[in-house]
Chains A and B, each alone.
Chain A
């Protein structure tokens, strides 16, 4: 009997203790992350580093432009490799233009336009071995600005570059703090010294064949030239520069675009802008300084380069994580009536990125599946002519029987002048 009395009283005590001590039970949650402190340099000194250097080995391949006998290949955030392609069977890496923060470029005549973080730099490429920076349009790409003071808005103003500091790097150290996951969503936080909005990089957009006077850009390009205007896309906008004076681009306008924007492709007097959720078409004939939207086609969220011909637009969608995409396919869109584009066909692919079209032949870089060449005479029934699985391909420019392919480990060139004997002619 005594034994039964014990547990009853102990249970009472236990419940009492539970009630009392529940308040003492605290979760201990800590977060460990890096604190980054900027390293500054005077803008004048920073600009002095932007110039030609001896050739360097190609590291990470980025955007590509073919101009005459030269291939210009950007290495993201570092600069541009200049490759003498007089003989496509034996290309020569002849020099490197050091451009910190570079991602994109376009060439018209003897002028090369390239971004250096927030600045637009104009180079004289009369001698590709000794490229000279002629003009700096300050902070015209504010999304990528590294200015810590000075002009803070697009268009730039006259200022003394000695008065401006730019951020050239960071020192980092780890720190651990108490953390409350209920009130702090882990993404976009934990960077107390961040002076810029945190956002995923958009540098890995996909390339197309963009004919202008002398140069052809890849389909992943974010710079494009039609006549006397340079069009550049930011994450959510398109900015136009008047290049009537080729060495002194003048800011013309900025139009907002529902983004994130990835690529821009010119065709006659139209611009095709590829974004994560669709393709936008702009007319530049009536007012080249301020492109006007004339049509759009929306699709599922995915990385999205676009090229076009007279009748159809060709859009590749891939599932790269930074675009939050979920499909890998080629979409062909009828654009005969630009205001009412019609989805014609969809083809499943592995991981399509850049693409190019030469006549009836469509070239698609399909990630690890390499380069695929189709007969696209009938868009309702593309026929695979050849698949070349030499590398993980990003982008391609196909013209004059030579396909220049940017891959993860360099540049490959294929001779397709004889479609029954498409073959590799060089690798750099």
Chain B
């Protein structure tokens, strides 16, 4: 009898599990957000490219992004991208916040000459803004956004100064805090 009851219990449980798995569509969806941006700052304009890939849960999206930023020094931002949509129609406003680390990848022309031990180290990166997404088909959207972007870099090098009675060596450091407005156009799918 105990065996029969245990068998029925197992059948019920398995039936309940299979019933739960069948219909409900998951609220989690993969999305890819890809942007081309124009950075406007003190020294003029520069381009940026970004691609963030992650999961959308209802009106929230979170992903990991990688980019190329050509403002002043070529850098590679690696960041967490968080965005929130507003509205219920096919076209929606959204706000986004990116935060992460900015790695230097200098071009040959940007590398200083005649400096000893010149080294650029990674710094903080952030991009905050508002945008509008326009539906283009069932799963595609055109993105337009405007924001503020900050990238930080640290440069250090060995300075040599012939100052008798010692040949002074001074580890000199330059901190770059680069503030820019950024206008982006992108594609989300």
Interface residues of B in 28-66 (CB under 8 A from A): 40-43
Residues on the B chain within 8 Å of A21, using CB: 181
Give the distance to chain A from B122, nearest Cβ to Cβ, in Å: 17
- The answer to whether A7 and B40 have CB atoms under 8 Å apart is no
- The answer to whether A31 and B172 have CB atoms under 8 Å apart is yes
- The answer to whether B115 and A10 have CB atoms under 8 Å apart is no
- The answer to whether B91 and A198 have CB atoms under 8 Å apart is no
B189 at the interface (CB under 8 A from A): no
Give the distance to chain A from B78, nearest Cβ to Cβ, in Å: 22
A27 and B159 in contact, given A7-B134, A17-B146 (Cβ under 8 angstroms): no
- The answer to whether B172 and A170 have CB atoms under 8 Å apart is no
Against A, the Cβ 8 Å flags (1 = close, 0 = not) of B170-189 are: 10111111111101000000
- The answer to whether A169 and B166 have CB atoms under 8 Å apart is yes
A196 and B163 in contact, given A7-B134, A21-B181, A27-B72 (Cβ under 8 angstroms): yes
- The answer to whether A27 and B42 have CB atoms under 8 Å apart is yes
- The answer to whether A10 and B161 have CB atoms under 8 Å apart is no
A340 at the interface (CB under 8 A from B): no
- The answer to whether A168 and B165 have CB atoms under 8 Å apart is yes
B167 at the interface (CB under 8 A from A): yes
Binding site for A on B (CB under 8 A): 40-43, 72, 89, 91, 93, 112, 114-116, 132, 134, 144, 146, 155, 157, 159-168, 170, 172-181, 183
A203 and B167 in contact, given A11-B144, A17-B146, A186-B157 (Cβ under 8 angstroms): yes
- The answer to whether B91 and A170 have CB atoms under 8 Å apart is no
- The answer to whether B164 and A29 have CB atoms under 8 Å apart is no
- The answer to whether A101 and B178 have CB atoms under 8 Å apart is no
Among A53-61, A187-195, A275-283, A368-376, the one that faces the other chain is: A187-195
C-alpha spacing A80/B167, complex, angstroms: 19
Interface residues of A in 192-214 (CB under 8 A from B): 194-201, 203
- The answer to whether A201 and B167 have CB atoms under 8 Å apart is yes
A28 and B144 in contact, given A33-B170, A146-B165 (Cβ under 8 angstroms): no
A288 at the interface (CB under 8 A from B): no
Residues on the A chain within 8 Å of B167, using CB: 77, 201, 203
Known A14-B146, A22-B41; further 6 A-B contacts with Cβ < 8 A: A7-B134, A27-B177, A30-B175, A32-B173, A33-B172, A169-B166
Residues on the B chain within 8 Å of A11, using CB: 132, 144
Residues on the A chain within 8 Å of B170, using CB: 33-34, 172, 190-191
A200 and B162 in contact, given A25-B181, A187-B115 (Cβ under 8 angstroms): yes
- The answer to whether A181 and B174 have CB atoms under 8 Å apart is yes
Residues on the B chain within 8 Å of A201, using CB: 160, 162, 167
A179 at the interface (CB under 8 A from B): yes
24 sampled A-B residue pairs with Cβ under 8 A? A3-B89, A7-B144, A10-B132, A21-B181, A25-B179, A26-B179, A27-B178, A31-B174, A33-B173, A36-B161, A36-B168, A101-B164, A168-B165, A170-B163, A186-B157, A186-B159, A186-B172, A187-B115, A190-B172, A191-B161, A191-B163, A200-B160, A200-B162, A201-B162
Residues on the A chain within 8 Å of B178, using CB: 27
Find A190's partner among B116, B159, B181 (CB 8 Å cutoff).
B159
Give the distance to chain B from A40, nearest Cβ to Cβ, in Å: 11
C-alpha spacing A199/B72, complex, angstroms: 28
A229 at the interface (CB under 8 A from B): no
A22 and B40 in contact, given A34-B170, A169-B165 (Cβ under 8 angstroms): yes
C-alpha spacing A3/B89, complex, angstroms: 9
How many residue pairs, one in A and one in B, have C-beta atoms under 8 Å apart?
Answer: 132
C-alpha spacing A26/B146, complex, angstroms: 18
C-alpha spacing A195/B134, complex, angstroms: 64
Residues on the A chain within 8 Å of B43, using CB: 27, 182
A167 at the interface (CB under 8 A from B): yes
Which residue on chain B has the smallest CB distance to residue A189?
Answer: B159
Residues on the B chain within 8 Å of A168, using CB: 165
Interface residues of A in 131-157 (CB under 8 A from B): 144-146
A321 at the interface (CB under 8 A from B): yes
A18 at the interface (CB under 8 A from B): yes
C-alpha spacing A118/B179, complex, angstroms: 49
C-alpha spacing A3/B93, complex, angstroms: 11
A100 at the interface (CB under 8 A from B): yes
- The answer to whether B174 and A28 have CB atoms under 8 Å apart is no
Residues on the A chain within 8 Å of B160, using CB: 198-201
Give the distance to chain A from B189, nearest Cβ to Cβ, in Å: 20
- The answer to whether A28 and B161 have CB atoms under 8 Å apart is no
| Of listed A21, A28, A144, residue having the most chain B CB within 10 A | A28
- The answer to whether A146 and B112 have CB atoms under 8 Å apart is no
Residues on the B chain within 8 Å of A145, using CB: 164
A117 at the interface (CB under 8 A from B): yes
- The answer to whether A29 and B134 have CB atoms under 8 Å apart is no
| Of listed A27, A30, A32, residue having the most chain B CB within 10 A | A27
Give the distance to chain A from B85, nearest Cβ to Cβ, in Å: 14
- The answer to whether A36 and B162 have CB atoms under 8 Å apart is no
